[in-house]
Amino acid sequence: MLDRELYIPKRWCDDPERCREAGIPEVTRFHTKCELARMMLERVWQAQISVNWVVADCVYGSNATLRDWLQAHHYFSVMAVRCTEPIEIQTPTGRMRMTVAEAGARFIQPQEWQRLSMGDGTKGPRWFDWVCLPILHHGEDDGQHWMLIRRLVTDPRDTVFSVAFGPVGTTLADLVNAIAARWHVEEDFETAKDSRMDQYEVRTWTAWYRSITLAMVAQAFLAGICAQNQGDQMVRQNNTMPYERYLPLTRQEVRHLLGHLLWPHPHNAPLLLAWSCWRRCHRSLACYYHTKRRRERVSSRFALEDQLLPVG
């Protein structure tokens, strides 16, 4: 986590006395969530921090101003949008303007769907059906803009629409991998709750920023310890059998260990570390067999679907 901004409702900004009591600076003006996101992205751009892809849900993806800013600053993006988002596509009869839902219904053929995994989750590979359709940008087909549709394998009616901007030659798999990064963002927020990021009890502007900043620093400290352990762990994983492996250190595990080592309980440090290794080994083994069974079930279902496909 690199940055943070406090969203202040408009009714607060229209109430100077309330803002004064909360210590909000007088120069502060109302900003939408998309405007706050752009402000943080501007700071990332000014700091010259490398960004491969920008991904977001439909709250931000449906904001054309934010998408235009990303393109103007050469940030490739895959942004979820509402089903009513207007796009322009090239058809045999000329250019047509319609919503993403209408384009998906009219111009996507059944054989064009591809089943790809969006990475491994807590229960194994996350399979979805995907399809990609080139779209026009300012009336031109530049080969860098697409509409992307994701649907559930078990319920084809459950779909998510996205619009993407990427380099020429970007494949469907590249876009899927970019979207998969959002999974790690959600994990970061879930992990940050252990550092009390969501349990602050503050009533002023300054206190909120201090609380959030401290939680972010704690997460960065824990992530640094995990990164140091990652290299040695990969070597061990490659040279052992599944039942001999254990998961690498996580931020939750490091926080647990530090909490007991800095404020020790009656048991000693070697016993605590041995217990941590046993726990991670047990989790690794359970994850291995759970993923293996899930892959086998998915493979069997795919094979059955292939046998039931109509011929001709």
Q: Of all helices (H) and strands (E), which one includes residue 269? A: helix 269-308
Two structure tokens written together for 223? 């992530």
* Four-point Cα dihedral 275, 287, 179, 110, nearest 10: -170
pLDDT digits (tens, 9 = 90+) for 21-58: 999 999 999 999 999 999 999 999 999 999 999 999 99
In whole angstroms, give the CA distance from residue 198 to residue 215.
9
Radius of gyration of the chain (CA): 24
Query: Bigger pLDDT: 17 or 267?
Result: 17
Give residue for tokens 């048991």: 267
Lowest mean pLDDT among 114-118, 124-128, 270-274: 270-274
CATH of 52-193, one of 3.90.350.10, 1.10.357.10, 3.40.50.620, 3.30.1330.10: 3.90.350.10
Angle between helix axes 205-238 and 251-262 (nearest 10 degrees) is: 100
Query: Bigger pLDDT: 92 or 242?
Result: 92
Two structure tokens written together for 76? 């490739």
Q: What percent of the chain has pLDDT over 90?
A: 50
Beta strands in 205-289 (DSSP E): none
Taking a C-beta distance cutoff of 8 angstroms, is the pair 172, 114 a contact? yes
Query: Bigger pLDDT: 178 or 264?
Result: 178
Would you say residue 273 has pLDDT above 60? yes
Structural domain spans, the chain? 52-193, 202-307
pLDDT digits (tens, 9 = 90+) for 196-250: 787 777 789 999 999 899 889 988 888 888 888 765 555 455 555 554 566 777 7
pLDDT of residue 132: 94
The per-residue pLDDT of the chain, averaged, comes to 84
pTM metric for this prediction: 0.75
pLDDT of residue 311: 42
DSSP designation for 263: S
Task: Compute the average pLDDT of residues 79-99.
Answer: 93
pLDDT of residue 306: 55
Selection from 179, 8, 14 nearest residue 81 by Cα: 179
